[in-house]
Amino acid sequence: MIRLLHLDASARPGRRGVDPHGSYSRALSHRFVSRWRATRPDDPVRYRDLGAAPPRLVDHDWIRAEFTPHDRRDAQMHARLAESNALVDELIDSDLLVIGAPLYNFGMPAPLKAWVDSIVRIGRTVVFDPSRGDDPYVPLLIDRPRRVVVLSSRGGHGMDAGGPLAHMNHLEPHLRTALGFIGIHDVRCVAVENEEFGGERLAASVAAANAGVDALVDTLLSEAATSPVPVAA
């Protein structure tokens, strides 16, 4: 069994092709999960719509609670960290993380950034060990293989790795850095581009992204069949 955690971060509530003004990234993530479940219907999927219900932003109360030793936290501190703990638990429990996220102003949507800030946690997903000198951070999510699929949409074009405008795309690199920091390094990406151009250029990009999602599902299903991901105890 492979446990999926499906996150959508677009501010658009619907899926492109189904709902008026719907989201391309939501359409891609829904396509991925639907195709996965068509082959593996028994794999559990936990869904969280970050765009519709963003995690609370890190604030002074969160920081005060997070950096107070666990045995000295009062009830208010535990309550302030409850949402973050739930997000961490969901991630730890997952084997395959599917993220639908558009590129907003060169980076990730604010709700997804709030999620990242909630799951990069000292003592929960990473350890700070000053005795290690210049490399004091020890990732904790290395107990078993975890894979990440980032399904995005962009107004411009040429922003894939190696593209002429890749330097303007900080969404995927940010996620790779943050997730790698806690021990998740296998990140696969597919994106729709040319939203602002529309017409044939957009249609061709959507078709290519849909094909890319289908191929990625097939690849990951094949990998799962030959090297199943162990389920956490």
3-state secondary structure of 46: strand
**Cβ pair 45, 66 in contact under 8 A:** no
Enumerate the known binding-site residues for FMN.
Answer: 10, 23-25, 153-156
| Distance, CA of 128 to CA of 63 (rounded, Å) | 16
Give just the sign of the alpha carbon dihedral 173, 177, 77, 48. Answer: positive
Residue with tokens 């700070």: 128
User: CB of 119 within 8 A of CB of 25?
Assistant: no
Residue 21: C-alpha distances to residues 24, 65, 77 (Å):
9, 40, 40
